[in-house]
């Protein structure tokens, strides 16, 4: 089955949902160009989610995707919180952050009944999830209004799980990919494979279409992924410099710098491993810091430092998400980039 048949898109190019650096504008541009634009819903409140979906549906009649995280909220751990705040305390002191004013908890709420209700109003053609799939009742609700469901696998085991539990399309997320690893059956980073190894093994293992993600930057990468059996590709990093992206000037500068060649998987920004350009915080505190609060609870304690540093024009404590291949980042329109990526198909 081609992605055209399953998702109704003209070009087998999915723009990866990237919470914090893009909204409806990028999604609309990619969908109107014939690819699948994605709205990251993971960090939106109900109000904004509704506004963004309205913005999309008023500007395109092509298929689009809305993405959510479906982690289980961990219990608050006093011990993990202490480990993390102790590690951060020299920086709190240096930048005059009062630890007592730093909130505990997180605003990243997993996909839930309220979000599903909003989706019911808009009936988005595609809904994608990160970290597995939501519980059965919610998944059935999403499927009941005709949405096709996508989720990411970082191992063959995860791909088989996703197929069994109802994913219509599976993204094979190679270790090259920027942002959060979609891993949900294992937390062992040794299990994470490069796209070249992961993609064909997932293609062999499942019957649903498989989309390649991780390391793809140019049109020849799209062709190479299709050669390895992909029905399409998903790119995030390549879209980060596009006019319609909301990538901060600081993040854009980092992506265009020599430093962008050096990324690592880090858990210090949220609690889960995600690939970012190596910055001061990752060097001093990570890239992997053991014992800190589980996703998404690690974010709260580091955020005040990020806020202070960003106000001074520094990305030293910002998550500068990027994959291992930033050579495809271009400061052009998302439509042009989408067409360029599909130009050798």
**Residues at the contact surface with a second copy, assessed by CB under 8 A:** 156, 174-176, 190-191, 193-198, 200-201, 204, 214-218, 220-221, 223-225, 227-229, 261-265, 278, 287, 323-325, 327
Give the contacts of 26 (CB within 8 A, at least 6 positions apart).
15, 37, 239, 242, 244, 245, 246, 334
Rounded to whole angstroms, the Cα distance separating 100 from 184 reads 33
For a second copy, the closer CB: 220 or 343: 220
Supply 322's token pair. Answer: 């990027």
Residue 32 CB, nearest approach to a second copy (Å)? 28
For a second copy, the closer CB: 49 or 172: 172
Helix boundaries (H) for 60-106? 78-94
Residue 134 CB, nearest approach to a second copy (Å)? 27
Residue 109 CB, nearest approach to a second copy (Å)? 31
For a second copy, the closer CB: 78 or 290: 290
The residues that bridge with 13 in the sheet, in sequence order, are: 233
Rounded to whole angstroms, the Cα distance separating 4 from 11 reads 7
Please, what is the end-to-end C-alpha distance for the chain in angstroms? Answer: 17
For a second copy, the closer CB: 151 or 324: 324
What's the farthest any 2 CA atoms get from each other in the chain? Answer: 57
For a second copy, the closer CB: 137 or 258: 258
Rounded to whole angstroms, the Cα distance separating 60 from 250 reads 30
Give the contacts of 263 (CB within 8 A, at least 6 positions apart).
178, 275, 276, 277, 278, 322, 323, 324
Supply 183's token pair. Answer: 């891993």
Residue 227 CB, nearest approach to a second copy (Å)? 4
Residue 287 CB, nearest approach to a second copy (Å)? 6
- The three-class DSSP label of residue 170 is strand
Residue 266 CB, nearest approach to a second copy (Å)? 9
Residue 316 CB, nearest approach to a second copy (Å)? 18
For a second copy, the closer CB: 119 or 216: 216
Q: How far is CA 162 from CA 17, 33, 166, in A?
A: 19, 29, 6
For a second copy, the closer CB: 109 or 238: 238
Helix orientation angle between 24-32 and 334-341, rounded to the nearest 10 degrees: 50
Residue 186 CB, nearest approach to a second copy (Å)? 10
Residue 126 CB, nearest approach to a second copy (Å)? 24
Angle at 213 between CA 327 and CA 58, to 5 degrees: 90
Supply 193's token pair. Answer: 């494979």
For a second copy, the closer CB: 33 or 171: 171
- Half-sphere CA count of 206, side-chain side, radius 13 A: 32
For a second copy, the closer CB: 141 or 191: 191
- The three-class DSSP label of residue 62 is coil
């Amino acid at each position: 089955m081609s992605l055209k048949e399953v998702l109704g898109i003209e070009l087998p190019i999915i723009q990866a949902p990237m919470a914090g650096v893009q909204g409806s504008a990028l999604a609309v541009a990619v969908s109107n160009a014939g690819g699948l634009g994605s709205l990251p819903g993971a960090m939106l409140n109900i109000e904004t989610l509704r506004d963004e979906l309205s913005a999309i549906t008023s500007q395109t009649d092509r298929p689009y995707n809305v993405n959510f995280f479906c982690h289980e909220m961990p219990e608050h751990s006093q011990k993990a919180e202490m480990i993390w705040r102790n590690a951060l305390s020299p920086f709190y002191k240096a930048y005059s952050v009062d630890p007592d004013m730093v909130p505990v908890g997180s605003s990243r709420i997993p996909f839930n009944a309220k979000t599903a209700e909003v989706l019911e109003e808009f009936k988005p053609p595609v809904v994608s999830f990160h970290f597995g799939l939501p519980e059965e009742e919610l998944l059935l609700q999403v499927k009941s209004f005709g949405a096709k469901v996508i989720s990411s696998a970082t191992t063959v085991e995860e791909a088989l799980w996703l197929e069994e539990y109802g994913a219509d399309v599976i993204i094979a997320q190679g270790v090259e990919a920027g942002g959060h690893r979609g891993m949900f059956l294992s937390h062992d980073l040794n299990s994470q494979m490069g796209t070249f190894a992961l993609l064909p093994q997932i293609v062999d293992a499942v019957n649903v279409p498989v989309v390649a993600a991780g390391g793809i930057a140019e049109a020849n990468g799209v062709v190479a992924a299709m050669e390895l059996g992909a029905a399409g590709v998903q790119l995030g990093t390549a879209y980060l410099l596009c006019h319609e992206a909301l990538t901060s000037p600081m993040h854009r500068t980092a992506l265009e710098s020599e430093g962008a060649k050096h990324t690592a998987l880090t858990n210090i920004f949220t609690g889960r491993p995600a690939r970012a350009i190596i910055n001061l915080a990752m060097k001093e505190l990570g890239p992997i810091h053991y014992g800190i609060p589980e996703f998404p609870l690690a974010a709260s304690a580091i955020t005040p430092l990020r806020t202070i540093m960003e106000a001074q024009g520094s990305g030293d404590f910002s998550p500068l998400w990027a994959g291992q291949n930033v050579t495809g980042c271009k400061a052009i329109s998302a439509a042009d980039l989408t067409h360029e990526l599909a130009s050798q198909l």
